[in-house]
Amino acid sequence: MNIVKTDFPGLLIIEPKVFSDARGYFFESYNEKVMADADIQTIFRQDNQSFSKYGAIRGLHFQLNPYSQTKLIRVLEGVIYDVVLDLRKGSPAFGKWFGLELSAENKRQLYIPQGFAHGFSVLSEQTSILYKCDNFYHPHSEGGVLYNDPTLGIDWKIDAAGATVSDKDRVLPTFDRVETNFVYQV
């Protein structure tokens, strides 16, 4: 695996080594030893899978401490534009967003540490994603940031007029009104 650092502390792109031949391909999507060798000590406790159709936008979601979640995102089918927003007060990337295309074809994964809001848009006809979480879902700790907050200016790579967004995600607070308890730790 190739682990690529981003300009956002702790946010990593994981690129697997893919072995292809006439039969198809093989790759390790997760290897605890490789991650530990890269100083990633996360213990994942829950796997989630979602299916969405073209134009869906999900996010931007997070869980507050002590239930915040580190996530490892990968696409099983289709293409998404994955977006994270750094909510860690004191982080050099606080209030900035990062986006990356993840697909079944490129097999990239995004390692998202605690303290980020996460969302994605679906760029293919349909998509299935699988993500690992280091903490269990806790509904009373849910939070979010409005996906189309004009101060953030996130380009979701789809026509906003044709986007499918849940009623819940349409009424999330803007970044300047969101309340979190995330603090950047060096």
Could you list the active site residues? 61, 131
DSSP state of 114: T
CA dist., res. 18 & res. 67, Å (int): 34
Cα–Cα distance list, 47 to 62, 70, 115, 136 (Å): 16, 12, 19, 9
Q: Taking the chain, what is the end-to-end CA distance rounded to the nearest angstrom? A: 25
Torsions phi, psi for 26 (to 5 deg): -145, 140
What is d(CA 174, CA 93) in angstroms, rounded to the nearest whole number? 18
Q: Enter the DSSP assignment of 169.
A: H
The count of other CB atoms within 10 Å of the CB of residue 21 is: 7
Euclidean distance between CA atoms 63 and 65, whole angstroms: 7
> How far is Cα of residue 60 from the mean position of the Cα atoms in its chain?
9
